[in-house]
Amino acid sequence: MNQRGSVLLEVLLATAVFSFAGIVVLGVVDGAVADGARAARRSLAMDVARSQLARMEAGISDDSQDDRAVPGLRVESHMEPSDFPGLALAVVEVYDEQPDGRSDEASNDPPRLAVLRQLLRGDGGGGTERPEVSR
């Protein structure tokens, strides 16, 4: 009878250890999947920012931006003055309008996924004259 109880105790202990290990592994896998999704979202945001910067460099207007919009991403771009004559600093920022819940709830600002800054010629390189930004 004593041996039966010890075998039952060993089986219960082994089951508990394997259950705990399974829970830990599932938590790690869930975190890895979430990190992969965030990395894919950041990569998409960087691609969108590069595209917007290329449009700015080519001097293409933003009149029909709705057909290029990526759901859940907000793109903001503007030109800033630079210290170099004939050049302006183009800034493109991409914000996540669908945060994953891990961001700070106290802030109402959506998380910024990508920022690109590049010096551009005053005419944008596209041949159409753009007003030069000066200080």
pLDDT 10s digits, 91-113: 999 998 876 655 455 556 778 99
Number of domains in the chain: 1
Residue 126 lies in a domain: no
User: Model confidence over 72-82: pLDDT tens digits?
Assistant: 899 999 999 99
pLDDT attached to residue 44: 94
Residue 130 lies in a domain: no
Share of the chain above pLDDT 90, in %: 55
| 40 close to 46: Cβ distance less than 8 angstroms | no
Residue 22 lies in a domain: yes
Q: Which residues of the chain have pLDDT under 50?
A: 103, 123-135
**Cα separation, 119 vs 88, whole angstroms:** 6
Across the beta sheet with 112-121, the strand order is: 73-81, 87-96, 112-121
Residue 108 lies in a domain: yes
Q: Model-level pTM?
A: 0.67
Compute how many other C-beta atoms are within 10 angstroms of the C-beta atom of residue 70.
14
Residue 53 lies in a domain: yes
Residue 131 lies in a domain: no
Q: Collapse the DSSP code of 12 into the 3-class scheme (helix H, G, I; strand E, B; otherwise coil) and give the result.
A: helix
Residue-range definition of the domain harbouring residue 7:
2-121
